[in-house]
Amino acid sequence: MSTPVLICDDSSFARKQMARALPSEWDVEVSFACDGLEGLEMIRAGKGDVVFLDLTMPNLDGYGVLETIQKENLNAMVIVVSGDIQPDAQARVQKLGAMDFIKKPIDQEKAVSILEKFGLL
Amino acid sequence: MTNQLITEDQRDCYQELSNVAMGQAADRLAQLLEAYIILPIPKINIIAPCDLHMALSGVDSEDKASSVCQGFIGSGIAGEALLIFNDTSFSDLASLMKYKGELDDQTQLELLMDVSSVLIGACIQGIGSQIDVSFSQSHPVVLGQHVSVANILQDEHTHWDQSLTVEIHYTIENMSVDCELLLLFTEDSIAKLNQRIDYLLD
């Protein structure tokens, strides 16, 4: 069965870049969300077993999404993909339950190595 | 607010490139200050520079501020970076930079130059590296200390009709440090920038 993957980013350019970085051999069903609220809805609907999550977004940012996932105990493996590369930002999202952190601009090798690390490929 | 000079897809792409560049710049500043920089969503506008003070969301045009500007150019793309510090920022900035002694104009100027060299340089190079342009930077120029934001902006840019403007409003967590970084690309640069953006969008 295909893995439901959610790409949550307010930039359509960034969503496309992320989608392109996913390895073609990975059997996935990709959905897109353009802010945190929409992202949460899709996660609740089971469309985000694996989530690539941006941090700076309108309405609800990535931190808010992570907090809600923890609070509601939602089933989602979250990998944060952000331009905020401050070590503090990485520490904060890891504390909030994110599995890993990819710096923007995305490079495919990094994405693949993280997916392999967690046995997703 | 955009107009026919850039499409919505292009605006989105400029915003994302700015987002990445601003994050790289903030990371450098965070290391310098040992503080956490709060990142906003960058704003992209096509606007006449003389109207800029009305479009800014991060600063009040009547606020007293100090400002530095620095030109950049590469591959036929030119512009100016403007860093505007609200004057209320300097006492916290001085403590973060571990400046001792009186916070006079000279000290404030040094703080302003130190921070601007980090933020402006990293942001310009961050955008350049993503669109494969190597920007050369001119020397920074102080536009004024303790003057209203409206004055800073009106005196400086009356010679271009339109510019592509990136507005980034940086704040520092738990501190009253408040600054606005503006990148103004000249009207003549917009078509060349768009070409490079379209290549990324393909």
Shortest CA distance from B20: residue in chain A: A83
pLDDT tens column, B136-177: 999 999 999 999 988 888 766 557 788 999 999 999 999 999
Question: What is the side-by-side order of every strand in the sheet holding A50-53?
Answer: A28-33, A3-8, A50-53, A77-82, A100-103
Shortest CA distance from A57: residue in chain B: B41
Q: Can you tell me the ipTM of this complex?
A: 0.93
Portion 21-50 of A in contact with B at CB < 8 A? none
Residue B178 phi/psi, 5-degree rounding, is -140, 110
Distance CA A103, CA A61 (A): 17
Give me chain B's average pLDDT, please: 91
Of chain A, the end-to-end C-alpha distance in Å amounts to 13
Q: What percent of chain B has pLDDT over 90?
A: 79
Instruction: Using a CB–CB cutoff of 8 Å, tell me whether A61 touches chain B.
Output: no
Q: Tokens at residue B12, please?
A: 């989105």
8 Å CB contact of B40 and A56: yes
Instruction: Using a CB–CB cutoff of 8 Å, tell me whether B6 touches chain A.
Output: no
Return all residues near B101 (Cβ < 8 A) that are at least 6 apart: B107
Distance CA A37, CA A59 (A): 7
Ordered by where they begin, the domains of chain A are 3-117 (3.40.50.2300)
Q: In residues, how long is chain A?
A: 121
Ordered by where they begin, the domains of chain B are 8-201 (3.40.1550.10)
Whole-number pLDDT of residue B57? 67
CA B10 to chain centre: 20
pLDDT tens column, B28-59: 999 999 999 999 999 999 988 778 877 776 67
DSSP notation for A66-86: HHHHHHTT---EEEEEES---
